Every structure is written in C-alpha cells, then in structure tokens.
Amino acid sequence: MSRELVPGYSLLAGAYEARPVPYTSLRRLLIPMIAGLVVIVGATTAASLLAAAPPVQYACPPDCGQPPTGIPVQANPRFSPADGSWSVAVPGPGTAYTISKEDDGVNAVFTGGDGGTMELFGVPAKGCSAEQVVDDLLHEKQPDATVAYVLPKATVGYQLGYGAAIGPYRPFRPFRPGDGPSLPSGANLQLAQDLGRYINSFQWKGDPPR
C-alpha cells in the first residue's frame, strides 16, 4: 500500500510563543468618542447662544402688553360714536337693562335688584391724566358729590386708569362671596358687580383685537 504525502513544515522539537493579536479595549474606544461628542455639543451650543438675540426686557408698567389675542367673540352688541374713535360693549336684548343711546355714549338703566344706571361714554383727554378727567367730570355732572374712596388699580379697557366711588350711599347691605355673579362689591350695589365687564370692554381706534 502506497503512502500519501501531504505538504507541511518540519519543525524541531521545542517551546514556541505566538504573538498576541492587537485589539482596542472598550475603554480606549469610548473615551475619545465621548470626548469628541462633548466638544461637538459644546461648540454647537455656544454658537447658537452667540447667534441668538438677547432676551427683551419689559417693565410693567408701562410695557404691560395686551391680553391674549384671537378672533374676537362678541357676546354683546357694541356702541361706537360717529367718529369711530372708541367703542364699548352694551347690554344686549333680553337683559335686565333699558338702553338709550346718545351721540357720545349709552345710558343703561338697570331694572332689577337695587336698580341704578350705567353711563358708558367717552370724552377727549386733551392731554389730561385719567384723574384730572374724572375730577372735571365730577365737577361738571355732580358738583356736590364727595369722593368716598379711590378704587385701587382701576382699569378702563384693560388700560390703567382712575376710579373713584362717590356718595352718598344707601344703608349698607354687604355683598359676600356667593351673593352675586362676580367679586364682592364695596359699593353696596348689584349694578357695581356687573359694571366691570362693560368698563373693560372699551376699545380705542387702532387697538389690536382682543
């Protein structure tokens, strides 16, 4: 029987050591990768901060902004004088008011509860402050009236104004929380509880919608 010869190597007897295969450890792989990511994120963040405009600083007042805007929803009809310089919401049909319109405003007579009358009108300021306008109106319309107290932070159409309560008053009957549709009224009148929403419905020509 013939023998088959297989190619190979002939080695002398002895001990041999194989060189280890080179490799990169997980730690050595992650450290430069994380460092590179930190540098990239830091550079992009710094670039965005440098490119962004500085925040606008507001001081309120006078820069108090405007109420949130949107498509106006008119729950009540509005009155505006002929020149269109301002407008105000007035009680609509079916409410407890009798409405009469004048050239410069609206008289709304409250026919329920304690009664009373709202006069919603506007006059030119002519460079006067809100307090001066109120004082002039008091001297013109009710010269004998006395101011009982000044309303703090009074607003007209969500603009800072001036408000004063004038007497005399009827016998005191307190309005407590839950007695009416709004906040308790120190004026001792049901009409005063309904007045705020009409006072702040004033708008002037050129105002943004609200």
Amino acid (one-letter) located at 11: L
In a domain, 42, yes or no: no
Range of the domain at 125: 86-171+186-202
Most confident range (mean pLDDT) of 102-106, 138-142, 184-188 is 102-106
Per-residue pLDDT tens over the stretch 86-116: 999 999 888 889 999 988 899 999 888 778 8
pLDDT at 171 over 50: no
Range of lowest pLDDT (17-21, 174-178, 199-203): 174-178
In a domain, 140, yes or no: yes
In a domain, 136, yes or no: yes
How far apart (Å, rounded) are the C-alpha atoms in residues 102 and 116? 18
pLDDT at 206 over 50: yes
In a domain, 165, yes or no: yes
Higher pLDDT, 183 or 89: 89
In a domain, 158, yes or no: yes
Q: What is the pLDDT of residue 79?
A: 92
In a domain, 76, yes or no: no
Overall number of domains in the chain: 1
**Looking at the DSSP assignment, which residues form a beta bridge with residue 78?**
89
Per-residue pLDDT tens over the stretch 157-169: 888 889 887 765 5
Cis omega (within 30 of 0) for bond into 168: yes
Q: Is the dihedral of CA 28, 32, 33, 38 positive or negative?
A: positive
pTM surpassing 0.85? Answer: no
Range of lowest pLDDT (42-51, 80-89, 119-128): 42-51
Structure token digits, residue 67: 């109420």
